[in-house]
């Protein structure tokens, strides 16, 4: 499972209403927000961390940064680091590196979603490419993925740090 067609077929099979948004190339979550004309808080930034040797997907709003202490504490691990591009290529072989959708359940990954991402009715995320995004209801996403929903981000938004 990974190609955009597979992802869309999965959503259709589960009777999920969604919108595919084709856009100019965007390589960061903030850039996706800009090109799709959506607030950063609606863009689900998908990260993969290596936590004591295992991979975990962490999903947070585009304008937030992961809190290493919070994710270590939640996972009950000592060491957490971002996965390397080589790891991402192996875990998501049919996705462009960095464009993986937030459906870790389809790849055998535990998924942790920051609670701040669940406050809006919809989310938007990369759909395996840097030129396509998908918009769907947050409730549908949560129902399909069944992630752990906890606070794992810094309290400060990115734009406040700059």
- Give the CATH number for residue 120: 3.90.960.10
Q: Note whether residue 161 is domain-resident.
A: no
pTM to 2 decimals?
Answer: 0.91
Higher pLDDT, 4 or 101: 101
Domain encompassing residue 100: 4-155
Mean pLDDT of 14-26: 96
Query: Which pair of tokens denotes residue 145?
Result: 């993925």
Q: Note whether residue 162 is domain-resident.
A: no
pLDDT band at 96 (very low <50, low <70, confident <90, very high): very high
Q: Note whether residue 160 is domain-resident.
A: no
**How many structural domains is the chain composed of?**
1
**Residue 121 burial (10 A CB sphere; 0-12, 13-18, 19+):** exposed
């Amino acid at each position: 499972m990974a190609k955009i067609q597979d992802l869309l077929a999965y959503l259709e099979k589960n009777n999920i209403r969604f919108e595919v948004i084709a856009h100019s190339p965007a390589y960061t979550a903030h850039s996706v927000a800009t090109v799709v004309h959506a607030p950063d808080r609606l863009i689900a930034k998908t990260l993969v961390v290596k936590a004591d040797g295992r991979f975990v997907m962490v999903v947070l709003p585009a304008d937030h940064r992961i809190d290493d202490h919070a994710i270590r504490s939640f996972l009950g691990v000592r060491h957490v680091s971002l996965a390397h591009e080589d790891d991402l290529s192996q875990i998501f072989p049919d996705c462009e590196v960095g464009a993986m959708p937030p459906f870790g359940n389809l790849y055998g990954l535990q998924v942790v979603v920051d609670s701040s991402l669940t406050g809006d009715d919809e989310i938007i995320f990369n759909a395996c490419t840097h030129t396509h995004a998908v918009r769907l209801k947050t409730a549908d996403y949560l129902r399909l993925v069944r992630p752990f929903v906890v606070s794992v981000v810094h309290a400060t938004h990115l734009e406040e740090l700059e």
